[in-house]
Structure 1
Amino acid sequence: MKTRQTVQQVPHTIDGKTRMVPIRVDAPAPPRDWDNLVLNGVTGIAALVLTASVVWSTASIGDLLSRAVVEPAAYGAAVVFDLAWIACMAIEWLARYDEDRAALPRRAGHVMLLLAMLAVGAHGKVAGYWEIGLIGAAVSALAKGLWTVVLRHQTPPLDARTRAWIQGELADAGASLALIPVRRQLQRAQAQVSAERAAIAGPDSGSADPDRPDESADDPDAEVIGIRPGAVTTKDAVRIAWDSGVRDDEAAARYVAKTTGKAPSPDTVARYMRLLRNGMAS
């Protein structure tokens, strides 16, 4: 039986004190994983074939396009033909657990591969060697086919219920991500509404904002007194400054003083800014 050197932790006692110390011991070596070695070899072959396909297609299509444009632009456009279906194949791999999402990049990859093969074949025809054009086009098809086989082999099969469960989990995560920009839009809209109400109220307006609820006594800003009914408060001004990108307490205090017409308490401004930084302000 084959063995290999490995390190183990064993207890060792000196003067009645025991510590775990490392020692080297011979342990049975695990059998060679031939399946993994073969898969790695096939993946390497597929990568080599893909590289050769990109080089051949770029050279062929670039030579074809260089008849009408300068060579840097021709070869730059030529490499797009293969990179397009390769990118679709990568997206198909990322969506391997969701067959519905993987269908679109799979179909798009087939269409882009066909366009690349037609371009390579057209180069062979224009050059007077249509046989070479057909063989060159087959190189891209072989590369795409080989990678399709490799990726399908590594894609685990899932039953319908498992796929539905995964889709539900992804939907929940997507909903949480979608709410982030929505909340930002709502905050910006609310800030604009507050600023608009403050501008419309004017200095002589004496009516309170009917849409503004009364604040409870235990609210964090209960001690803040509005300059006039219906006008923007210190809290509103701090919120508007925050939504405008102000993150410094002193800059926010200057904005509040300019907006409300009265110098606010630095501690009050700092408290509101701290709540905004912690995401606790409403």
Structure 2
Amino acid sequence: MKTRTVQRTQLVPHTIDGRTELVLDRYTEDIPVPPRDWDRTILTAVTAGAAAIGAACVVWSTASIGDLLARATVAPAAYAAAAVFDLVWLSCMALEWLARYDHARAAFPRRVGYWALAIAMAAIATHGWIADQLAIGIVGAAVSGLAKTMWTAVLRHHAKPLDDRTQQWVDKQRAEAGGRLAMVAVRRELTRADALVAAERAALSGNVPETVPETPDDEPEDPEPPAAPKPYGPMTITDAVRTAISAGVTEPNAVVRYVRQVADANAKEDSILRTLRMIRKTA
């Protein structure tokens, strides 16, 4: 039996001067190596081969259908549209793979994939017919058909069929997980609604102070700048900028001085001003 050496660690007591502590002890151990899983190796090789066939199919059908569409439009647009034909049924195959444990959910992408494949094959055959090479068009259409058949066989081998009771159990577990995921958005919406209701109630109850606009005659000739808020630090640069704005300090240099006073004495001016612009924009 083949073995391989691995390094492991364990906690062992170690005593010095009558004091015992647990320390890491490293040791090596030979463990048996399991035999090669040839089934998994072959399945991986077949899956890689199916991926290569799918890539070759996309290249061939894009070139053929692109040449067909280029007769009516510019080449870049024609080949871009031609790539859609095979990418649609390949995407449906991917969705079928994701639903391999749910036969009902996999049925719809499987049907759409077959329809997309039929349209792609018809377009390739049409290109051969218009170019007076119908045989080549039919053979080219068969390339897409073979690629689809290959992928269908691979997916069916990977799929794990479930009996009716197990499928019901899986569906209930998925529904429960989906419910918890949906509640994240619902709670976010409820929190936002509660905040709006609280603000509306505060406004109706008169807790919001009324502001009376001053006339030009009431304004002093040399108004003094608002005093900087008291430093409550330590705080982050963002919190310091918000505190300064809430206190009426909006002049950039004053904000920079306040942030350096309560948050970080070495804070870069560019970072502070960028934070100030971001908060003003989101306010």
Under TM normalisation by the shorter chain, which class is it?
Answer: 0.5 to 0.7
SS in 1 for 2:6: strand
* Mapped contact 2:8–2:29 kept (Cα < 8 A): no
- Is 2:170 the counterpart of 1:166? yes
Q: Which residue of 2 aligns with 1:6?
A: 5
Q: Which residue of 2 aligns with 1:220?
A: none
> CA offsets per residue over residues 116-142 of structure 1, 9 Å max, x none?
111111111111111111111111111
SS in 2 for 1:88: helix
Q: Give the paired residue count.
A: 212
Q: Which residue of 2 aligns with 1:155?
A: 159
Amino acid at match of 1:60: S
Cα offset, 1:166, TM superposition: 0.9
TM-score, normalised to structure 1, is: 0.65
- Looking at structure 2, the residues matched to 253 and 175 of structure 1 have their Cα atoms a distance apart, in angstroms, of 42
SS in 1 for 2:162: coil
Cα offset, 1:9, TM superposition: 5.5
- Is 2:144 the counterpart of 1:140? yes
Change (3 A) 1:249 1:8: closer
Cα offset, 1:90, TM superposition: 0.6
* Mapped contact 1:195–1:232 kept (Cα < 8 A): no
* Mapped contact 1:194–1:232 kept (Cα < 8 A): no
Change (3 A) 1:50 1:231: same
Q: Percent identity?
A: 51
- Looking at structure 2, the residues matched to 192 and 19 of structure 1 have their Cα atoms a distance apart, in angstroms, of 56
Amino acid at match of 2:47: T
Cα offset, 1:84, TM superposition: 1.0
* Mapped contact 2:50–2:150 kept (Cα < 8 A): yes
- Looking at structure 1, the residues matched to 206 and 109 of structure 2 have their Cα atoms a distance apart, in angstroms, of 55
Q: Which moved more, 1:160-169 or 1:99-108?
A: 99-108
Amino acid at match of 1:130: L
Match of 1:63 among 51, 62, 67: 67
- Looking at structure 1, the residues matched to 103 and 112 of structure 2 have their Cα atoms a distance apart, in angstroms, of 15
- Is 2:57 the counterpart of 1:53? yes
- Is 2:197 the counterpart of 1:193? yes
- Looking at structure 2, the residues matched to 70 and 104 of structure 1 have their Cα atoms a distance apart, in angstroms, of 34
Cα offset, 1:48, TM superposition: 1.6
Match of 2:120 among 113, 116, 123: 116
- Looking at structure 2, the residues matched to 20 and 249 of structure 1 have their Cα atoms a distance apart, in angstroms, of 49
Q: Unpaired runs of 5+ in structure 1? A: 202-229, 235-246, 258-282
Q: Which residue of 2 aligns with 1:97?
A: 101
Q: Which residue of 2 aligns with 1:231?
A: 206
Give the aligned CA root-mean-square deviation in angstroms: 3.3
Cα offset, 1:19, TM superposition: 8.0
- Looking at structure 2, the residues matched to 19 and 248 of structure 1 have their Cα atoms a distance apart, in angstroms, of 44
* Mapped contact 2:2–2:32 kept (Cα < 8 A): yes
> CA offsets per residue over residues 177-212 of structure 1, 9 Å max, x none?
11222222223333333444444x3xxxxxxxxxxx
- Looking at structure 2, the residues matched to 174 and 24 of structure 1 have their Cα atoms a distance apart, in angstroms, of 45
Q: Which residue of 1 aligns with 2:135?
A: 131
Q: Which residue of 2 aligns with 1:238?
A: none
Q: Which residue of 2 aligns with 1:205?
A: none
> CA offsets per residue over residues 44-100 of structure 1, 9 Å max, x none?
221121111111111101111111111111111111111111111111111111222
Change (3 A) 1:116 1:256: farther
- Looking at structure 1, the residues matched to 91 and 146 of structure 2 have their Cα atoms a distance apart, in angstroms, of 17
Q: Unpaired runs of 5+ in structure 2? A: 17-22, 210-237, 249-283
- Looking at structure 2, the residues matched to 91 and 5 of structure 1 have their Cα atoms a distance apart, in angstroms, of 40
